[in-house]
Chain A
């Protein structure tokens, strides 16, 4: 089973939920945690894995053979991302904008463009006690997280309960992270921003056909509009976590809620039980 954790708004508690859920059920299940927030992977701070492997993630970028090129400009014309420009007798490439689609190379009338791998990040694997740990890390200065997210996802194990910590927002890296999940846990806070971005996230998972449920974090900080929205949209609120100084303190020390305040383990186990119920119901009804 794959459970992804997304949010819409950033900083609402995805990592706290992912790591606490993993820590709460690890004694009962084989658990894998995949940190797909590759621009800022931080689950490792809480689970403290020992890394065993590290692999480079690359995308193929154009390399122009000046001897063959006649500066016709076809490559620049077909590049959807403006990653290649032809001016006068120069072909300029911008690897940081390249999506590695290969169109420039494929369509070059003079076969003057080869492709060469350009490293954009790494995927690391290891163990945090009994939890299998995977994280993607985008290299500093790179702007294309999605290929790294995809590489992280390739290591999803069907023998485990896989928990995927996604990045905030609802754009490509998030879609890549939550795609093929059996369930998406949405974490938000009861503020206007939290609600606004939650709506975007809900629309996204609905479009993708992924069942979802909500964890309301920092309850008490805002108003009741998130709850009203969930009721209207029929989104189950699986857990409410209050705005609490002790919880914030634990977080700032890099301790999971499940380990710092063990009474929360039952709550996360209950969240997991509800997720199984929801996905089970869904499987039997379809």
Chain B
């Protein structure tokens, strides 16, 4: 079985990246043997729909569980359609999270836990100027 964890650097000591669609990379690991591969996330730089393309990529890797910080509605829909279990709210290092998963300390989320564009950072959206109070 394979689980995918959003990460910031290519090692088990990386912190879990709080963003799903726009994380730097994923560590895809077998939680029992802790063998893992690192997959770069092309969705990080997507203009829009990052979560969708990232979720599709993850689905193609035959992953059964995704562990991340936050997951938006579109990514959640794609992952769910692919029958992938989604665990949000994860913190700490990738190694710790795998341990927690093995010990049954993590529970899956039934819905997306953040709204769309949550992981895009501050500033205006890509189609709207700054400074307007709306």
A residues apposed to B, CB below 8 Å: 7-11, 39-40, 76, 81-83, 85-88, 90, 92, 94, 97, 143-146, 167-174, 193, 197
Contact B131 A94 (CB under 8 A): no
Contact A94 to B81, CB < 8 A, known contacts A169-B129, A193-B131: no
A-B contact count (CB 8 A): 88
Closest Cβ–Cβ distance, residue A145 to chain B (whole Å): 6
Contact B56 A85 (CB under 8 A): yes
Q: Which of B102-123 contact A (CB under 8 A)?
A: none
Main secondary structure of the interface of B (DSSP, over half): loop
11 pairs from A and B in contact (CB 8 Å cutoff): A40-B134, A82-B53, A85-B52, A85-B55, A87-B56, A88-B59, A90-B81, A90-B82, A169-B124, A169-B127, A171-B129
Contact check: which of B49, B60, B81, B128 meets A82 at CB < 8 Å? B49
Closest Cβ–Cβ distance, residue B4 to chain A (whole Å): 14
**B-chain residues with CB within 8 Å of residue A193 when the two chains form the complex:** 130-131
Contact B130 A169 (CB under 8 A): yes
B residues apposed to A, CB below 8 Å: 43, 46-50, 52-53, 55-56, 59-60, 74, 77-78, 81-83, 124, 126-134
**B-chain residues with CB within 8 Å of residue A173 when the two chains form the complex:** 127
**B-chain residues with CB within 8 Å of residue A8 when the two chains form the complex:** 129
Chain A residue nearest in CB terms to B21? A82
**B-chain residues with CB within 8 Å of residue A9 when the two chains form the complex:** 129-131
Main secondary structure of the interface of A (DSSP, over half): loop
**A-chain residues with CB within 8 Å of residue B128 when the two chains form the complex:** 39, 167-169, 171
Contact A85 to B127, CB < 8 A, known contacts A97-B48, A97-B49, A168-B132: no
Closest Cβ–Cβ distance, residue B34 to chain A (whole Å): 27
Chain B residue nearest in CB terms to A80? B47
**A-chain residues with CB within 8 Å of residue B59 when the two chains form the complex:** 87-88
Contact B129 A197 (CB under 8 A): yes
Contact B130 A81 (CB under 8 A): no
Contact check: which of A94, A143, A146, A170 meets B129 at CB < 8 Å? A170
Q: How long is the Cα–Cα vector from A169 to B130 in the complex, in angstroms?
A: 7
**B-chain residues with CB within 8 Å of residue A90 when the two chains form the complex:** 81-82
Contact A82 to B131, CB < 8 A, known contacts A87-B82, A88-B59, A92-B78: no
Contact A40 B56 (CB under 8 A): no
**B-chain residues with CB within 8 Å of residue A171 when the two chains form the complex:** 126-129
**A-chain residues with CB within 8 Å of residue B132 when the two chains form the complex:** 10-11, 40, 168
Q: How long is the Cα–Cα vector from A198 to B120 in the complex, in angstroms?
A: 24
**B-chain residues with CB within 8 Å of residue A85 when the two chains form the complex:** 52-53, 55-56, 78
Contact check: which of A10, A11, A81, A92 meets B47 at CB < 8 Å? A81
**A-chain residues with CB within 8 Å of residue B60 when the two chains form the complex:** 87
